[in-house]
Amino acid sequence: MNKNDKKAHKFGMVIDLDKCTGCGSCMVSCMSENNVPFKEDESNKKDSITWMRVYKLTNGKSFPETEIVYLPRPCQHCGGKGDHGHSPCVSVCPATATDYGYDTGIVSQIYTRCFGCRYCMGACPYHARYFNWWDPKWPEGMEKYLSPDVSPRMRGVVEKCSFCYHRYQAAKDKAYYDGREDIEENEYQTACTTACPAGAIVFGDLYNPAHRVHEIVKPDPHPASINSTVVGKSRNPNVFRLLERLGTNPKVYYLSEREWVRKAGDNYLAGEWDKIKNHHGSESHG
- Which residues make up the interface to other proteins (CB under 8 A)? 44, 46-47, 55, 57, 71, 81, 86, 88, 91-97, 113-119, 121-127, 129-135, 154-158, 242-243, 245-248, 263-269, 272
Phi, psi of 177 (to 5 degrees): -65, -35
Q: List, in order, residues 6 or more apart from 239 with CB less than 8 Å away.
A: 14, 216, 217, 218, 253, 254, 255
Q: Smaller CB distance to other proteins: residue 210 or 269?
A: 269
Among 250, 254, 246, 253, which residue's Cα sits nearest to residue 229? 246
Q: Smaller CB distance to other proteins: residue 219 or 247?
A: 247
Q: Smaller CB distance to other proteins: residue 28 or 92?
A: 92
For residue 144, the minimal CB distance to other proteins (Å) is 26
For residue 233, the minimal CB distance to other proteins (Å) is 15
Among 206, 254, 208, 261, which residue's Cα sits nearest to residue 83? 206
For residue 95, the minimal CB distance to other proteins (Å) is 4
For residue 243, the minimal CB distance to other proteins (Å) is 6
First to last CA, the chain: 23
Among 257, 220, 251, 211, which residue's Cα sits nearest to residue 237? 257
The type of residue at 122 is: G
Q: Smaller CB distance to other proteins: residue 88 or 219?
A: 88
Answer whether 108's CB lies under 8 Å from 161's CB.
no
For residue 184, the minimal CB distance to other proteins (Å) is 34
Based on its alpha-carbon atoms, the radius of gyration of the chain, rounded to whole angstroms, reads 19
For residue 34, the minimal CB distance to other proteins (Å) is 17
Q: Smaller CB distance to other proteins: residue 121 or 175?
A: 121
